[in-house]
Amino acid sequence: MYLFCPYCGLDLRFIIRERLIARLTLHDRILRMLVLMRNPLNAIEHIASAPDLLGGAIICVLCSFVLLIKLLMLMVKYSIPINAYGVVCLLVASVLTQFLVWIFLAIVLHVGIRVAGGVGSFRDIMSIVGYCQLYLLIGHIVSMVMLSFVPPSPDPSELSRALLGSAEVYAPFLIFIAILVGYGASFTHMLKKPAAILASVASSTILIVLLYAI
The answer on pLDDT for 135 being more than 90 is yes
Q: Which of 10-19, 75-84, 131-140, 200-209 has the lowest mean pLDDT?
A: 10-19
| Cα–Cα dist 12/3, whole Å | 5
- State in Å, rounded, how far the first CA of the chain is from the last one: 51
Which pLDDT band, with edges at 50, 70 and 90, does 161 fall under? Answer: low
The interaxial angle of helices 40-49 and 122-148, nearest 10 deg, is: 140
Q: Quick one: average pLDDT of 61-65?
A: 95
Helix (H, G, I), strand (E, B) or coil at 11: strand
Which pLDDT band, with edges at 50, 70 and 90, does 166 fall under? Answer: low
Which pLDDT band, with edges at 50, 70 and 90, does 182 fall under? Answer: very high
Is the distance from CB of 148 to CB of 72 less than 8 angstroms? no
Q: 13: closest CA among 4, 21, 24?
A: 4
The answer on pLDDT for 3 being more than 90 is no
pLDDT of residue 125: 95
pLDDT of residue 74: 80
Q: Quick one: average pLDDT of 181-207?
A: 92
Which parts of 3-121 fold into alpha helices (H)?
A: 13-22, 26-38, 40-49, 54-77, 84-115
Q: Quick one: average pLDDT of 27-41?
A: 92
The whole-model pTM stands at 0.85
Percent residues over pLDDT 70 in the chain: 81
